[in-house]
Structure 1
């Protein structure tokens, strides 16, 4: 039996969510839009195009979309060399890998951004594969990213757990019939994650690592 542990990266393994919030806020401001940072925060986890659509709506000037996304990317890139992993993140991945789990990252990040995230995380030895936004037609909350990551791992939904920090992560996993584990490290309230489908919620990677022998990960592991 294959056991797959799929992970979001931003806000789940690396402490980046608020850096994204500030970068998006400034990108919108430069384009003439006043978007509250709370609204931006709640949208983090969506792919760039979906995030702009979610925050500005279908009646926006779509000719601005590419420029807004480009400004966000440029601003966020200034943080690449300073990105920091969340406490326990690398140890969590290594422990799961050592226990026979296939670890796959499922993230909207691509290119040098993804390279920088992996460098900050420092756990490439435990990561079997990566499913990025470039690999699917629809990003989270659609189930496609989770299904693609499962295919890479060679696992069924019953053999898989997905760990993320946003409501979009929880909805995507639930739509793919995968057990969704939420982390509070991205700043989203527990109640919001549970309403979106989280079967368990932990404070962060270190908390989940300390409780691997209980909960849904232990149950899937015991069935192997």
Structure 2
């Protein structure tokens, strides 16, 4: 079977987590919700509806969720033309592709946001596919997005690797039977990633690339 190299995007390949925090904070503030930024940061990686449930509670009136998500999307879109790629993210994807891995992005982004993220990464030539949360019923931490990515890559869970920056990434990968690898570039502490199932944890894509042969990509390969 093929081997898949699965990658979360925000905070893993593109340095966007704090832009999302600011955009969600402002959208929530405009709607009258006082939510601290550190709480928003820890909720990143969840699909929008789940993120709002996590921050505002399951029992809230969900009638305003659409407007909140739309406000976040509008605010975040102002950054589209200057999203910063994390160091060596493009080189990491191309190196894995050259080594025979099927590289798949696993993200909740879609439409213009996904286009902007792919432009920021600048390695479309290394990609086999992109798996969006819109394509599955449940987003991370459910295993559905990871399993969908494996299907797109025609790859088995055994021998495949998922790289992400959030506890939701680690839980989704573990539940799908894929080896989870953490990166600290999203701002989540090493201990939290390891507690959620991460095996090795690297500083950022450049650190993973530098130690690629000793990583699960080298061991599995």
User: TM-score, normalising length from structure 1?
Assistant: 0.97
Matched, 1:80 2:106: no
Q: Distance in 1 between matches of 2:122 and 2:155?
A: 25
User: 1:15-164 counterparts in 2 under 5 A?
Assistant: 15-164=15-164
Q: How far apart are residue 71 of structure 1 and its match?
A: 0.4
Q: How far apart are residue 159 of structure 1 and its match?
A: 2.1
Q: Secondary structure of 1:128's match?
A: strand
Q: How far apart are residue 59 of structure 1 and its match?
A: 1.6
Unaligned runs of at least 5 residues, structure 2: none
Q: Distance in 2 between matches of 1:133 and 1:118?
A: 16
Q: Distance in 1 between matches of 2:49 and 2:110?
A: 14
Residues 45-93 of structure 1: CA distance to partner in whole angstroms, max 9, x if unpaired?
A: 1111110111101121211111111000000000000101000100000
Q: How far apart are residue 14 of structure 1 and its match?
A: 0.4
Q: Distance in 2 between matches of 1:182 and 1:5?
A: 13
Q: Distance in 2 between matches of 1:151 and 1:220?
A: 19
Q: Secondary structure of 2:158's match?
A: helix
Q: How far apart are residue 112 of structure 1 and its match?
A: 0.5
Q: Secondary structure of 2:213's match?
A: coil
Q: Secondary structure of 1:158's match?
A: coil
Q: Partner residue of 2:211?
A: 211
Residues 31-58 of structure 1: CA distance to partner in whole angstroms, max 9, x if unpaired?
A: 1100010000000111111101111011
Runs of 4+ in structure 1 deviating by more than 4 angstroms, as ranges, are none
Q: How far apart are residue 133 of structure 1 and its match?
A: 1.2
Q: Partner residue of 1:175?
A: 175
Q: Partner residue of 1:199?
A: 199
RMSD between aligned residues: 0.6
Q: Distance in 1 between matches of 2:60 and 2:27?
A: 15
Q: How far apart are residue 216 of structure 1 and its match?
A: 1.4
Q: How far apart are residue 220 of structure 1 and its match?
A: 1.0
